[in-house]
Amino acid sequence: MQEPQRRPQRGPDGKNLRRCEDNEAMAKTRMLRVSPQKLNLVAAQIRGKHVAQALAELQFSKKRIAQDVKKTLESAIANAENNHGLDVDALIVAEAWVGKNLVMKRGRPRGRGRFGRILKPFAEITIKVRQPADDVEELA
């Protein structure tokens, strides 16, 4: 039996939703050893902000995972500059979304012969940076 082919997600205009526009760049980090709920708290702090402000917030955040999110944001900024030729100073964090990854199952012996499950979740984060449309026209 043949497995069905996967088709890319399409928006209302027929474009592939997973691709970036001309004024966007993206970076993704997988297998972060933190729960998606905790990672989403950090991602919510940077959504919609200028990249310089987002980097400053991540630099001084007390959350352990903020350093990994900062690396991902720096990667998205580098992608925007090197692959798409965008102006770094004009970039904003357009989207930052979090997804679930695998869950390691561990356990601990409990009383009366029982077994307590310990779940160790992994998460992934995708950050999309965008240069606002009015700034793109100035560069052209």
CB environment 71-98: b (16+ within 10 A), e (fewer): ebbebbbebbeeebebeeebbbbbebeb
117 beta partners: 107
10 beta partners: 16
The structure's pTM equals 0.85
| Sheet of strand 24-32: strand arrangement | 24-32, 115-130, 92-109
29 or 139, which is more confident? 29
Mean per-residue pLDDT for 92-107? 97
Q: What integer best gives the mean pLDDT of the chain?
A: 91
Instruction: Please report the domains of the chain, with CATH numbers, ordered by start residue.
Output: 24-134 (3.90.470.10)
Query: In which band, very low, low, confident or very high, does the pLDDT at 138 lie, cut at 50, 70 and 90?
Result: low
CA pair distance 77, 75, nearest whole angstrom: 5
Query: In which band, very low, low, confident or very high, does the pLDDT at 31 lie, cut at 50, 70 and 90?
Result: very high
pLDDT above 70 for 135: no
Counting residues of the chain whose pLDDT is more than 70, the rounded percentage is: 92
Mean per-residue pLDDT for 25-35? 97
